Structure 1
């Protein structure tokens, strides 16, 4: 018996060791572009830091912090409120809103900015109609300025609240109704039970969703640049790509990294070691509350607002803009854009979710400083602009390719060329670094609902760490993992800076085509690939919502 048991135990230890090393490798890959930025920042000395502090650093910090507070508040209120209404209540149109509330996730924020500027700017439809009806001149009335900090925050809230909605809804669906029914039996109203029971139970998932929205906000470039809002992201791009001040850009990126690390630490501290479990799970689900009369109408109106302004109205505006754009979607060129975008998004989504599973499960398995550090490092890429990640990866891999080519020439008189730099796989790695935090947020939100006793029971039945992950965790976490796949797929479809810099030669995507047309002031033409990006995001949105509902 000992001869049989020993190889089995050794195999389990080897699989656990392989899992831990893979998680560490993922974290090291995420840290690589950040280390490149850190080294570049340190090479500039304190003179550049002092110059930045005396000129733009304070304005960048205030604007970025204000934008973060506005977006965090907006996404929390819209995402959590909508998730609770469609999950735990019944009102007119609830089946439609279950899916429709996720539609804005398919929109790049800068595309939404183009659409609303076309409508709300001074020469736009709304103000032109107002002047025609009243006879007012340009100085006779006040109208909210869309190209402002508030306008940028509104655009970001409209496209980022689905992060909070998806993760909150998955958490609400996984909750057992036992505690909620107990609170109702003790005299609490439905809303009091929500604030005292359901909301605290879903806190890990909600915090993860808000953190994703905040990190996406501080890394956003297209929206704030188009609206003329000066944040760290615009400062990095201006320094790096316009002023060619690599040191200044690296030091601004280091400030952004520090801010992201602070946010991740605060989120982890407020969550603490809280874990919420109920072995009954959905077997004792609370019956949904039926909202009738004015309450049902009010709930319908609340859910309709983000859908109309975040999806339906922009689609109508973009469609009207693209009618005369002379862009042929059935041409071989556009079919190539669609194929390239779908391939990159699918591969990157699978790779990123697998990396998130390894990092998240390793943190649960080990619980030490190394695993926690790996998870922190893996999250930070979401706060770094895609262009900075691209440059941070290109520099070391280009050096490796050049060194390998020089060695092969000197030794075998063979030129290897650029094996890694400019390849699709390096672009996929950049996507993984950029969006791993999104997949981790979804995975950990679901993992918090898996009781530690389930791990112990699995081990007692002879399962090793990998067996426990495969047979126990993954089946339970299916809704959260599908949510992670959806988020990464759509995010990669929208990603622009990293794709522009790192894509292989003659390998363009829909996002690149939209950027080119918009750069040429052909916004009508840019509306067409933008609409295709939205359309390609609709199918996974519908599939994930149905799967989450079934689970």
Structure 2
């Protein structure tokens, strides 16, 4: 993008009668953006502040039961699940990323588009599908029983309703976080390092373990941290597979034991775990290695594979896609067609789809405006305060949806009660629970949780716009409104479009916050699937699940536009 996209002469058309009003307008616009940015940071911090205040309240006798019967198993299962899923995603993600970055083989071009697609399958959908496939009298058992006696067939089936089963299911749909981060590093590493290792007699595997992998450590730390945060956020898969994680324990303490204070205290414990994960991610990115050499900046040439090696490379990369995406998608399509869900269309599905899309669209619009104001405030005046505000705005993604829902409950009810008091004071009838009853609580939760997506993307877009543009615009007397309209917004359009796509789909898939904050008698696609699974007839929600997956495929495939870099000369 060059400065030819706009010309000073066009900016002169926006001039008004004097410089002083424009200067005053610039100051007013900057202060307005800063005020919105500070309000955004307060909004993101509100759930955490609310949880801490709730946790200070007495929880009665609930902690006796929690310590004796809940916490030991919850902490053990949570730790083992995080370690297991992290190790599995690291193995699959880093391994396939290295194969795809370092080798050429038949089918590689197709795999570039397929490898990230398991992200289109929410963890709870994968759990529902595989538990149904491997249960006794399920499809896998019926297939085995054709060739084996009943007892032998049952003996061969893995028990997916277990901790190893949860690790397998969750890991196979979350590995693209590590894969995308690792590929972004592997494919741009300078050839000089590998050539030096080869000169010293290092083989292919030695180069991978001693050169490529250590240099990719910062990217791997980011990918594994994202996997850990998504695993902590999960409630549908863990609960359905019988894993009593800390997230599930917070859910049951709040709803089944009726202890909001006890749930808040458990949520504080989860926040401490989240802080530990973030600290580990920062530690993993310390002393980040430089991938390029100043003297030899060319990237490594991919090694062509043929014969058995090509088939092995293809199989290694395609197997995670088959298990993490193709099998769940095929099963959902089979159930939707086999049960006649398309011909006997449930009219309620239209309502659930409308609720899902309405909540997601409103949250995306709100987050986009808040993110734009936050990043503009930092752009106009990049001081420590605005940097801190922007950093706080990006912390929402680290908060599990259940924790956000728990933290929003008190502030949202306080606002609703305040509006009722105001209505009574002016002689009007009580409006009721406006924020909760209208679904705005769900929209606010989505905004807080996924605000990091538009903030990060728009900030990256601003970083690619030279500050010379700002100085040139100010030289011809253009105010901030003109700069925003004629410079920033046109150049930020790709980043904003990407943010809208990614956040909208994330909102569609979000289950914990939606489950707890949705109005009474209001269901979304995700909560309707959860209700079907809770009643033991998940298959009846196959069409709703397909809608979520179909909406997610496009944005996930869109990520592949950043995935390939031409290999350098040998």
Normalising by structure 1, we get a TM-score of: 0.81
**1:430 alignment partner, one of 439, 442, 445:** 445
> Hey, what does 2:74 align to over in structure 1?
60
Question: Which stretch shifts more, 216-225 or 467-476?
Answer: 467-476
- How many Å apart are 1:510 and its aligned residue? 1.8
Task: Work out the CA distance in 1 between the residues paired with 2:534 and 2:450.
Answer: 26
- How many Å apart are 1:536 and its aligned residue? 1.8
> Hey, what does 1:379 align to over in structure 2?
395
The aligned runs of 1:301-312 (5 Å cut-off) are 301-312=315-326
Task: Work out the CA distance in 2 between the residues paired with 1:54 and 1:331.
Answer: 45
Matched, 1:508 2:512: no
- How many Å apart are 1:156 and its aligned residue? 0.9
> Hey, what does 1:158 align to over in structure 2?
172
- How many Å apart are 1:293 and its aligned residue? 2.9
**1:521 alignment partner, one of 536, 542, 547:** 536
Change (3 A) 1:539 1:428: same
Matched, 1:542 2:569: no
> Hey, what does 2:272 align to over in structure 1?
258
Count residues with an aligned counterpart: 537
Matched, 1:37 2:37: no
Matched, 1:491 2:506: yes
> Hey, what does 1:186 align to over in structure 2?
196
Could you give the per-residue CA deviations for residues 221-259 of structure 1, whole angstroms, max 9, x where no partner exists?
Answer: 111111111110111111111121222212111111111
Task: Work out the CA distance in 1 between the residues paired with 2:96 and 2:487.
Answer: 33
Q: 5+ unaligned residues in a row in structure 1: which ranges?
A: none
**1:217 alignment partner, one of 228, 231, 241:** 231
- How many Å apart are 1:292 and its aligned residue? 2.7
- How many Å apart are 1:98 and its aligned residue? 1.5
Task: Work out the CA distance in 2 between the residues paired with 1:301 and 1:465.
Answer: 54
Change (3 A) 1:333 1:312: same
Matched, 1:229 2:257: no
> Hey, what does 2:253 align to over in structure 1?
239
- Name the Cα RMSD after superposition: 4.3
Normalising by structure 2, we get a TM-score of: 0.79
Task: Work out the CA distance in 2 between the residues paired with 1:478 and 1:171.
Answer: 23
- How many Å apart are 1:519 and its aligned residue? 2.8
Task: Work out the CA distance in 1 between the residues paired with 2:311 and 2:491.
Answer: 38
Matched, 1:270 2:280: no
Task: Work out the CA distance in 2 between the residues paired with 1:358 and 1:79.
Answer: 35
Question: Which stretch shifts more, 229-238 or 73-82?
Answer: 73-82
Are the equivalent residues in 2 in contact too, given 1:455–1:468 (CA < 8 A)?
no
Task: Work out the CA distance in 1 between the residues paired with 2:501 and 2:98.
Answer: 20
Are the equivalent residues in 1 in contact too, given 2:236–2:530 (CA < 8 A)?
no
> Hey, what does 1:420 align to over in structure 2?
435
Are the equivalent residues in 2 in contact too, given 1:80–1:168 (CA < 8 A)?
yes
- How many Å apart are 1:195 and its aligned residue? 6.2
The aligned runs of 1:316-355 (5 Å cut-off) are 316-328=330-342, 332-352=347-367, 355=370
Change (3 A) 1:383 1:474: farther
Are the equivalent residues in 2 in contact too, given 1:422–1:502 (CA < 8 A)?
no
Change (3 A) 1:509 1:193: same
Change (3 A) 1:308 1:421: same
Could you give the per-residue CA deviations for residues 484-503 of structure 1, whole angstroms, max 9, x where no partner exists?
Answer: 55543332222223223433
Task: Work out the CA distance in 2 between the residues paired with 1:132 and 1:299.
Answer: 32
Are the equivalent residues in 2 in contact too, given 1:212–1:438 (CA < 8 A)?
no
User: 2:339 aligns to what SS in structure 1?
Assistant: coil
Change (3 A) 1:269 1:532: same
Are the equivalent residues in 2 in contact too, given 1:381–1:437 (CA < 8 A)?
yes
Could you give the per-residue CA deviations for residues 334-381 of structure 1, whole angstroms, max 9, x where no partner exists?
Answer: 344334433433443454466567667878975748845863574255
Could you give the per-residue CA deviations for residues 78-131 of structure 1, whole angstroms, max 9, x where no partner exists?
Answer: 233334444554221122212212221121212211211222223323334445
Are the equivalent residues in 1 in contact too, given 2:99–2:313 (CA < 8 A)?
yes
- How many Å apart are 1:192 and its aligned residue? 6.3
Task: Work out the CA distance in 1 between the residues paired with 2:221 and 2:365.
Answer: 24
Are the equivalent residues in 2 in contact too, given 1:260–1:380 (CA < 8 A)?
no
Task: Work out the CA distance in 2 between the residues paired with 1:37 and 1:469.
Answer: 40
